[in-house]
DNA sequence: GGTAGATTAAACACCC
DNA sequence: GGGGTGTTTAATCTAC
């Protein structure tokens, strides 16, 4: 049996004093029970594992949502959803379909909800096999450049910073010969996906130009990245970094804003662990200003049912997720009937004690729609 | 086997 | 002049 996923029920009912303050607090899940939905999902924020944070950062992350911690073991002691039946594998080739990540077999079916089965025990020592630093990332240079630029606050980087990002995120390149830098430059010059911006003449620091992602090519780059991840990832080791899918700061609409999610009750998000960005009512559109860090406002949050988590029950996975080195975490959640589910890939280094799940008010939901569209690749 | 894309290497020019 | 950057070309590899 493939045990690469765990599914956690995120809600039902919100057990929080904040419940009444939210627009859909009575039963947010009903939003998706019928017909079109503007955003039937509750964005999830995954603060970094405390082990990967400075104490101050970890403390600050813990502090903003005292009610919303969602841990797993309490649930795992009882029930979980087995999504791993072959029958649950989506048979979709359409890249605009949200199922693109579900084809890997470790993800959830859209619906209906599979039966609950006990989560098998696992050997905690068997997971989290680090990818050797000598392993070359599965991503093309274009994807690496794309990720580097997308993670930058201004969505533009000098080539040197692109080097640095790659080195920092992919240990392989620390020891690789210098030829890859040539390849990076080669890609930047040759690929239409990237465009050069002259530095401000008044800027005395730095050399060369700034590089950014051409907005019209961003969807294609995203798709390549998804495909690469989908192909190589069999389960996720949840680690580090940035959100690629949070919409670019191009002053343009989100590239994937046309996806119809009305019949897709599951989503996949790539979210950062080290610098969580969470939609709030005050800051509903970090896609519009991704350079602005968003501090989740717990006043806007509704806690989910809290469940303990036993790390030993994290499921072993035989293959390391390339995303773990890319700095992305992969989340999947969906809802069916009155329950929401979070699917955590197995082999995770994510400290589930810190998982926080948010439900947003209507405005934030709407804003999150573009994020989810991006995540779903619907364009 | 053909093709396209990606990778790698190299050469060269430009600029600070 | 040295080093970083940007461009171009060519060879090779790989996937489809």
Residue in the block written with tokens 């991840």: A229
Q: Which positions 212-271 on chain A have a beta carbon less than 7 angstroms from any atom of strand C?
A: none
Neighbouring C-beta atoms of residue A175, cutoff 10 Å: 9
Structure confidence at residue A116 as a pLDDT band (50, 70, 90): very low
* Cβ atoms within 10 Å, residue A260: 13
What are the tens digits of pLDDT across the range A54-106?
333 333 333 322 222 222 223 223 333 232 233 333 333 333 332 333 333 33
> What distance in Å separates the CA atoms of residue A208 and residue A211, rounded to the nearest whole number?
10
Q: Distance, angstroms, CA A143 to C1' C13?
A: 19
Cβ A136 to strand C below 7 Å: no
Burial of A311 (0-12, 13-18, 19+ CB in 10 A): middle
Distance A143 CA to C1 C1' (A): 36
Rounded CA–C1' distance between A73 and B15, in angstroms:
59
Q: Give, to the nearest 10 degrees, the angle between helix A218-232 and helix A141-151.
A: 110
* Class of the CATH domain delimited by A141-214: mainly alpha
Let me know: does A282 contact A187? Beta carbons within 8 Å: no
What pLDDT is attached to residue A345? 39
pLDDT at A201: 54
- What are residue A274's phi and psi, to 5 degrees? -90, -20
| Most confident by average pLDDT, A11-15, A172-176, A263-267, A325-329 | A172-176
Across the range A369-374, mean pLDDT stands at 42
A108/B4 CA-to-C1' distance in Å: 34
Nucleotide closest to A184 measured between CA and C1': B7
- What is the predicted pLDDT for the residue at A352? 36
End-to-end CA distance of chain A: 35
Most confident of A5-9, A23-27, A298-302: A5-9
More confident call, A19 vs A362: A362
Q: Could you please report the per-residue DSSP string of A113-134?
A: PPPEEPPPP--GGGS--PPPTT
What whole-number distance in Å separates Cα of residue A329 and Cα of residue A324?
7
Chain C bases near protein CB atoms (7 A cut-off): 3-10
Distance A198 CA to C9 C1' (A): 25
Tens digit of pLDDT for each residue in A259-309? Answer: 222 222 233 333 333 332 322 333 333 233 332 222 222 222 222 333 233
pLDDT of residue A283: 34
- A163-203 confidence digits (pLDDT tens): 888 888 888 888 777 789 889 999 998 888 888 887 665 55
3-state SS class at A253: coil
Instruction: Among A15-24, A172-181, A233-242, name the one with the lowest average pLDDT.
Output: A15-24
Contact between the CB of A209 and strand C at under 7 Å: yes
| pLDDT, tens only, A123-179 | 333 333 444 555 777 888 888 898 888 888 888 888 888 988 888 888 888 877 778
Nucleotides on chain B that have an atom closer than 7 A to a protein CB are 6-11, 16
Q: What's the CA gap between A46 and A57, in Å, rounded?
A: 13
- How do residues A215-229 score in pLDDT, each as one tens digit? 888 878 887 777 766
Flag whether pLDDT at A333 surpasses 50: no
Looking at residue A342, its pLDDT comes to 43
Q: Peptide bond before A112: cis, by omega within 30 degrees of 0?
A: yes
Where are the domains positioned within chain A?
A: 5-131+220-376, 141-214
Q: What is the pLDDT of residue A49?
A: 33
For residue A153, how many C-alpha atoms fall within 13 Å in the half-sphere facing its CB?
5
**Residue A314: pLDDT above 70?**
no
Contact A292, A227 (CB under 8 A): no
Q: Tell if A57 CB is < 7 Å from nucleic strand C.
A: no
A211 touches strand C (CB under 7 A): yes
Gap between the Cα atoms of A318 and A2, Å rounded: 10
Residue A139, pLDDT score: 84
């Amino acid at each position: 049996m493939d045990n690469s996923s765990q599914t956690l029920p995120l809600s039902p009912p919100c057990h929080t004093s904040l419940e009444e303050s939210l627009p859909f607090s009575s039963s947010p899940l009903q939003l998706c029970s019928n017909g079109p939905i503007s955003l039937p999902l509750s964005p999830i924020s995954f603060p970094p594992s405390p082990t990967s944070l400075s104490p101050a950062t970890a403390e600050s992350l813990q502090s903003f949502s005292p009610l919303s911690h969602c841990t797993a073991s309490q649930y795992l002691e009882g029930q979980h959803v087995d999504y791993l039946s072959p029958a649950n594998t989506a048979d979709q080739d359409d890249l605009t379909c949200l199922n693109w990540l579900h084809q890997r077999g470790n993800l959830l079916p859209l619906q209906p909800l599979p039966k609950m089965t006990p989560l098998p025990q696992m050997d905690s020592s068997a997971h989290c096999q680090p990818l050797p630093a000598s392993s070359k990332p599965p991503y093309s240079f274009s994807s690496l450049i794309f990720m580097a630029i997308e993670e930058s606050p201004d969505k533009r980087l000098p080539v040197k910073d692109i080097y640095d990002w790659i080195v920092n995120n992919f240990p392989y390149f620390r020891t690789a010969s210098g030829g890859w830098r040539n390849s990076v430059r080669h890609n930047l010059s040759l690929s239409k996906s990237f465009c050069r911006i002259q530095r401000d003449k008044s800027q005395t620091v730095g050399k060369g130009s700034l590089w950014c992602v051409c907005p019209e090519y961003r969807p294609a780059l995203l798709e390549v990245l998804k495909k690469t991840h989908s192909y190589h990832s069999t389960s996720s080791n949840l680690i580090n970094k940035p959100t690629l899918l949070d919409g670019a700061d191009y002053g343009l609409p989100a590239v994937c804003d046309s996806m119809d999610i009305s019949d897709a009750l599951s989503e996949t998000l790539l979210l950062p662990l080290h610098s969580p960005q969470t939609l709030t009512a005050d800051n509903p559109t970090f896609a519009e200003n991704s350079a602005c860090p968003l501090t989740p406002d717990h006043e806007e949050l509704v806690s989910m049912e809290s469940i303990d988590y036993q790390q030993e029950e994290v499921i072993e996975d035989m293959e390391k997720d390339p995303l773990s080195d890319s700095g992305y975490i992969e989340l999947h959640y969906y809802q069916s009937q009155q329950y929401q589910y979070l699917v955590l890939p197995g082999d995770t280094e994510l400290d589930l004690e810190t998982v926080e799940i948010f439900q947003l008010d209507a405005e934030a939901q709407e804003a999150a729609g573009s994020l989810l569209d991006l995540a779903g690749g619907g364009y």
